[in-house]
Amino acid sequence: MIGDNFTLGINAPIKVSGDTNGLEYIKIIGPMGEVYGSFAMVSERHLHCTVKEAQEMGIKDGDIIQLHV
């Protein structure tokens, strides 16, 4: 989440989930130690559903949809 950027003191970009191209390695230091050699990103808004649910809604991976709840 974007709020985590403030808490962690980083500026993770918003990207499509799973797209790691162009991400930089970061070092996070906390009370229990540190993590280095990993990257951080904020996933763009996305919908989780089963393949069957997607077929029923007429959508597929990569589609841009508008959702009303």
Question: What tokens appear for 26 in the block?
Answer: 């970061």
Each residue's pLDDT tens digit in the chain (69 positions)?
678 888 878 888 899 888 888 888 888 888 999 888 777 888 888 999 999 999 999 999 989 999 888
The pTM of this model reads 0.61
Q: Tokens 């649910």 label which residue?
A: 53
Question: What tokens appear for 6 in the block?
Answer: 């403030």
Question: What tokens appear for 41 in the block?
Answer: 């990103």
